[in-house]
Chain A
């Protein structure tokens, strides 16, 4: 899908995470739920969160919805939503990645380079456990359904 030129407007959904780091995988879980549902002009990607790949992925997109785990000290399962065109991503979020260049840094770099998509919505889901291992915490697992529904609403609102 990378590098593809798109003739029609589309929504790009990117779930981010590491499948083997417990709640870090929540973005991937949401992406998998959304993949099961057919939408025209909606494309779902699962990514590790490496900054350059992200920027490359959304290069030709109109609307991008990112879903990632966050750790801010809030109650596990808490859902945050940002419209990244309107506000910077708080730098204390998305910071536990082992990659030097995480999601927040990538969005801010893309903003500086004038490379943000027309619309960029970011969902952050508060994680509880980021230890090695598969499977989500109960609280985080509950948030998967909620975020999936809200992303579908965003897709409808996008006018596609």
Chain B
């Protein structure tokens, strides 16, 4: 009997820290656990007793890379509770700031976190020594996204200009011109990114996933739509709690989210792409096809191409919004709080982000529920590893560890949204 344990202090190039436990006995895989030692962050608890208007800024603090998603889910849930509709140019500006977040988050992941796996480097710094132009392009793309968020949000990280009902301040049309110039460059760079990611080598790995994403009749989803899946789910966001449930697992402090009666599901770029391909802009669809992607992609390793396609879409969509922009009369619509429960779900870069709030007559929050995308993908990440590892059991432990890390990074898990510490153990018996 041969025992072997590999310990990695933390899983590199994933936001936040947690642990993966892999057990191999007599040359067969006997256990996989994605362990999340989540210290309570109390966000849902300390929203209680706060005014409804504070929710966007408080929840934005959950994540430094996707604060817009938290703000957008919060404002939509509150507007749902109060019967408020935000449309026209204010709605368009919300899509625009969401474009900025997708560009910055996806560019960071594609170039700095995931690309080193495909090109065989330990990190982006080592990769930059051999591929400086590539890394430069990634950094400049990320910057283009940052500029949208900083411009509309007031600052790059934890923006402050978003409110229930709209914005505190909206730009004049001419103020958007420098952004448009930058975005034209970014759209070209994004197209190059799609072409480049398509040339990478991908393991032959496809599973029969249940993909879940928002679906809107006329647009690729950011803020609105029904929750649909490729296996028959089709519900309004208000009915989320009827179909999805979070479970405790004994080895993890983070909750595992499942679809009732069915189990694991998959959210994020791949899910959005597979359920909404025909809502991408024509140039984005064409770029995806040129990259060899069909309108459905079931290989999670190819999510790096799909993310690049979404960067391209976000640049294209941002330019469309800027082109059609006219400054609205008021930066926000009036909001009259009332007692009730509101539901919001938007497409964070990593997938659907669900918020639910109950308020009293004065708009004070009496209950809050937040389900981030990473907790929804956790079970699918584990399932992937169950299927993936047996194909690579003969690899030396160090290489197997890297393969596992790459498979986890397919999901770009933002563990800090829900967790504290990730250690990787491979235990061979």
Contacts and interface: CB of A to CB of B under 8 A. Distances in A.
Interface stretch (B139-147, B242-250, B279-287, B318-326): B139-147
Contact of A55 (B15, B64, B124, B139): B139
A112 B64 contact: no
Contact of A109 (B64, B125, B143): B125
Given A48-B157, A50-B157, A98-B416, A112 B128 contact: yes
Interface residues of A, number: 16
Nearest to A112: B128
Contacts of A74: none
A52 B125 CA distance: 13
Nearest to B130: A112
Given A52-B143, A53-B156, A108-B125, A113 B132 contact: yes
B27 interface: no
A132 B296 CA distance: 47
Nearest to A111: B125
Contact of B139 (A48, A52, A98, A114): A52
Interface in A129-147: none
A99 B15 CA distance: 9
Contacts of A53: 156
A52 B64 contact: no
Given A48-B157, A98-B416, A113 B128 contact: yes
A109 B136 contact: no
A100 B156 CA distance: 15
Nearest to B133: A113
A112 B129 contact: yes
Contacts of A52: 139, 142-143, 146
Interface size on B, as a range, is: 20 to 34
A109 B128 contact: yes
B158 to A, nearest CB: 10
Contacts of B132: 112-114
Contact of B15 (A100, A109, A114): A100
Nearest to A104: B125
A101 B128 CA distance: 14
Contacts of A113: 128, 132, 135-136
B146 A105 contact: no
A108 B124 CA distance: 10
Nearest to B136: A113
Contacts of B124: 109
A43 B15 CA distance: 33
Nearest to A109: B125
A33 to B, nearest CB: 25
Contact of A112 (B113, B125, B146, B416): B125
Given A52-B142, A113-B136, 6 more contacts: A52-B146, A53-B156, A55-B139, A99-B64, A112-B126, A113-B132
16 contacts: A48-B157, A50-B156, A50-B157, A52-B139, A52-B143, A52-B146, A56-B143, A101-B112, A105-B125, A109-B128, A109-B135, A112-B125, A112-B128, A112-B135, A113-B132, A114-B132
